[in-house]
C-alpha cells in the first residue's frame, strides 16, 4: 500500500494521508511507529525527576474540560504565597527533583509580580533547578489583564529565571472546536505565535494536544500539522504530548471517549506525522501508567516524570495526584522491556538504568 511505503520511506504525510493512517490496523501502525522510535532512540525511555506545582486554581477563564479551576463544581479556591511555593521547591529539591513544572490558573487578583516573584525566589535559592513554567495561555492572560505585549511578558519570564515553557494550553487548534471548549482563552494562532517568539529568544518548549472529547480525527491531524509547520521554522519544540481527556467534575459532556486502541493509534500517528519533533511523551497521568508503558511500543519514548503531586488531571479523575516513586517507575519501565533513562528538562541524559 502506498501510504505504508511512504511512511517506510520517511516521506512527509499530508492531512488526508494522516487521517487515512487511522484506517490501518493497530499492529501495522504500531510497527511503523516503533520502527521510527527505535531508529531514533532504540529501547531508551526517558523520564525526569520533577515536581509539578500548581500555585493557584483561581481562574478568569472558563474551559469546559477543566475540573481544576475553582468554579461552582469546585468551590475550594486557593492561592499559594511565595513562601509556600518556595517551601515546596525546597522540599522537592532536597529529595532529588531537578525540575519544577509550574502551571497556574489565570488569577486576576495578584498581579504579574506574584507569578514572576515566585520564579525569581526559586531561582535565587536553587540556581540549578530547571524552571519549566507558564503556558502560552498564562502568557496571553497576563498580557490581556495587565496591558503587556507578549514580548514584555516573555522578557520578564526570562529575567525571572524561567528556563523552558511547558506545552499546556494548546488544547485543540481547530477554531470551531476551540470556541466551544474554551471561548475567550488564547487563540490557536496566538498560542503558536507565543511559542514562536519564545523559540526566537533561543529557548525551548513542549506542545500538547488535548484529545478524546468532541474533536474529530481530522482535528487531531490538523493540530499536529500546525505544530509541524511551526517546528520547521523554529526547531524549538522538544516534545509532543497528546493528553488524554479526563472526564470527571467538569462541564464537558457528550464526548467520544477514546478506547485504548484509539489512544495508541493517536500516539503512533503522532510519531509518524511529527517527523521534526524529537520526543513523543506518553504522559502517564492522563494515559494511565499501564497504557503509557504500552505506548512505548507505539512510538512514545518519554513518560514525563515522577511528578510528586499533580492537581490538574487528578481533579478530572486521573490517578496521578501523588505522582510515582522513582524506584517503582524505573522498575516498571524495565519490566516493560525498555531501558529507563533519567534525563534533564532539555533531554540531556543523566543516568541510564541498564
Ligand atoms: O493545558 C485540563 C490539560 C494541561 C484536563 O509540557 C486536561 O512537559 C485532561 O500541559 N483532562 C496542563 N487534560 C498540563 C500540561 C502538561 C502536562 C505534562 C507535561 C507537560 C509538558 C505539560 O492539562 C492543560 C489542559 O490541556 N487538561 N483539563 C482534563 N480534564
Centre of ligand 1 to C-alpha 1, Å, is 36
Domain-located, residue 60: yes
Q: Over pLDDT 70: what percentage of the chain?
A: 99
Give percent of the chain with pLDDT exceeding 90.
88
Task: Please give the residue range of the domain that contains residue 176.
Answer: 26-344
- Poorest-pLDDT segment among 133-137, 221-225, 235-239, 249-253: 249-253
Assigned domain for 90 exists: yes
Choosing from 73, 205, 210, 249 the residue with most ligand 1 atoms within 8 A of its CB, the one to mutate for a pocket test is: 210
* Range in 5-19, 33-47, 253-267, 316-330 the model is least confident about: 316-330
Per-residue pLDDT reduced to its tens digit, 17-28: 999 999 999 999
Ligand 1 geometric centre to CA of 16 (Å): 27
Give me the sheet containing 349-352, strands edge to edge: 302-305, 44-48, 339-343, 349-352
pTM of the model as a whole: 0.97
In this structure, are residues 293 and 334 in contact, taking their beta carbons and an 8 Å threshold? no
Q: What is the CATH number of the domain that holds 89?
A: 3.20.20.70
What's the angle, vertex CA 298, arms to CA 296 and CA 302, rounded to 5? 35
Confidence band, pLDDT 50/70/90 cuts, at residue 310: confident
Asked if residue 284 has its Cβ within 6 Å of ligand 1, the reply is: no
Q: Is residue 234 part of a domain?
A: yes
Indicate whether 21 belongs to any domain.
Answer: no
Asked if the structure places residue 247 within a domain, the reply is yes
pLDDT score recorded for residue 318: 82
**Given a cut of 90, is residue 75 above it in pLDDT?**
no
Q: What is the mean pLDDT of residues 2-31?
A: 97
Q: Is the CB of 323 under 6 A from ligand 1?
A: no
- Mean pLDDT, residues 129-145 taken together: 97
Atom of ligand 1 nearest to the CA of 206: 6
Record the cell numbers describing residue 71, joined without a space. 468554579
Whether 12 is in a domain gets the answer no
Res 1: pLDDT = 63
pLDDT confidence band for 311 (50 / 70 / 90) = confident
Cα-to-centroid distance, 8 and ligand 1 (Å): 32
Rounded Cα gap, residues 131 and 122, in angstroms: 8
Asked if residue 240 belongs to a domain, the reply is: yes
pLDDT of residue 254: 81
Which cell numbers hold the place of 112? Answer: 504579574
The residues pairing with 206 across neighbouring beta strands, listed in sequence order, are 239
Sheet holding 50-53, edge to edge: 50-53, 99-102, 130-133
Q: What mean pLDDT is predicted for residues 157-184? A: 97
User: What is the domain count for the chain?
Assistant: 1
pLDDT category at 72 given cuts 50, 70, 90 is low
133 vs 46: CA distance, rounded Å: 20
Report whether residue 67 contacts ligand 1, using a CB cutoff of 6 Å.
Answer: yes
Give the three cell numbers for residue 257. 471517549
Residue 189 lies inside a defined structural domain of this protein: yes
245 close to ligand 1 (CB < 6 Angstrom)? yes
Amino acid at each position: 500500500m502506498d501510504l505504508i511505503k511512504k511512511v517506510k520511506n520517511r516521506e512527509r504525510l499530508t492531512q488526508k494521508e494522516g487521517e487515512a493512517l487511522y484506517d490501518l490496523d493497530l499492529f501495522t501502525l504500531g510497527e511503523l511507529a516503533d520502527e521510527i522510535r527505535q531508529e531514533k532512540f532504540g529501547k531508551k525511555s526517558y523520564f525526569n525527576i520533577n515536581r509539578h506545582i500548581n500555585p493557584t486554581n483561581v481562574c478568569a477563564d472558563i474551559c469546559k474540560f477543566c475540573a481544576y479551576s475553582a468554579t461552582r463544581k469546585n468551590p475550594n479556591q486557593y492561592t499559594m504565597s511565595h513562601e509556600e511555593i518556595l517551601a515546596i521547591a525546597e522540599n522537592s529539591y532536597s529529595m532529588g527533583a531537578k525540575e519544577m513544572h509550574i502551571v497556574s490558573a489565570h488569577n486576576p487578583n495578584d498581579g504579574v509580580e506574584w507569578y514572576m516573584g515566585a520564579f525569581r525566589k526559586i531561582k535565587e535559592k536553587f540556581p540549578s533547578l530547571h524552571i519549566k513554567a507558564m503556558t502560552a495561555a498564562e502568557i496571553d492572560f497576563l498580557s490581556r489583564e495587565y496591558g503587556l505585549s507578549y514580548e514584555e511578558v516573555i522578557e520578564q519570564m526570562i529575567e525571572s529565571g524561567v528556563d523552558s515553557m511547558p506545552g499546556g494550553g494548546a488544547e485543540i487548534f481547530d477554531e470551531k472546536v476551540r470556541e466551544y471548549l474554551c471561548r475567550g482563552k488564547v487563540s490557536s494562532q496566538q498560542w503558536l505565535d507565543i511559542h514562536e517568539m519564545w523559540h526566537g529568544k533561543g529557548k525551548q518548549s513542549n506542545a500538547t494536544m488535548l484529545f478524546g472529547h468532541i474533536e474529530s480525527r481530522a482535528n487531531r491531524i490538523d493540530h499536529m500539522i500546525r505544530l509541524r509547520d511551526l517546528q520547521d521554522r523554529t526547531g524549538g519544540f522538544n516534545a509532543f504530548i497528546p493528553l488524554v481527556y479526563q472526564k470527571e467534575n467538569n462541564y464537558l459532556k457528550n464526548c467520544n471517549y477514546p478506547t485504548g486502541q484509539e489512544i495508541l493509534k493517536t500516539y503512533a500517528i503522532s510519531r509518524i506525522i511529527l517527523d521534526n519533533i524529537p520526543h513523543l511523551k506518553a504522559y502517564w497521568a492522563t494515559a494511565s501508567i499501564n497504557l503509557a508503558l504500552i505506548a512505548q511500543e507505539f512510538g512514545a519514548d518519554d513518560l514525563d516524570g515522577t511528578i510528586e503531586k499533580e492537581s490538574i488531571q487528578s481533579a478530572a479523575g486521573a490517578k496521578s495526584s501523588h505522582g510515582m516513586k522513582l524506584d517503582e517507575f524505573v522498575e516498571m519501565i524495565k519490566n516493560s522491556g525498555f531501558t529507563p533513562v533519567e534525563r534533564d528538562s532539555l533531554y540531556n541524559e543523566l543516568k541510564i538504568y541498564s
